[in-house]
Structure 1
Amino acid sequence: MRKIALLTLAGALALTACDRKPAEEPQPANNMIEVPEESIPANEAEATTAVPNNTAEEPKPAPPPSVSETQQMQDDADATGLTARLPDDSSGVPTNQVRQGE
């Protein structure tokens, strides 16, 4: 167990010794470059261009529905078969059973 620990420690030390970076050189005190005046572009006023109006007209509100909300709900339910009704004479009798008395 001690041998493994010593080998691990020696390997870690070897890797840290190889990873060392050389000392950084000191930064120069003045690293600015002077630009000669003839190479500086002159500020010329550019002509302003008209910006096109890209705004759209405000959309008009939707017209009120011609059918009431409850009537529309009833129509949708009728169309999907959710309001199927049984005839009055067989109301309350499941479809898989026969009425007694027949």
Structure 2
Amino acid sequence: MRIIALAALAGALALSACGKKEEEPVVNNLVEPPVENVIVEEPEAPLPPPGNNASAPEPAPPPSISEQQQILDDAEATGMTARLDRSADDASNATD
């Protein structure tokens, strides 16, 4: 049994040694594009450094709506006035 294993191992080593070839050097076959001479015209004087010269806009004045009107507008926008009876509200304001 040992003789068969030894013969198989010797045969495998012999076959692996015969199959190797010398590696050829890798040649780069790519062609590089030609370099174009581009003339860049530079300004005669250097440009000033960029700066933030913009001023902030003035805030808008607050709206001229009464506080009661603002409350009603907000309530209407959220749907809180859907069941409100306007005639009852008008009658209570008339007695004040």
TM-score for both structures, normalised by structure 2: 0.30
Judging by fraction of residues, say which structure has more helix.
2
TM-score for both structures, normalised by structure 1: 0.29
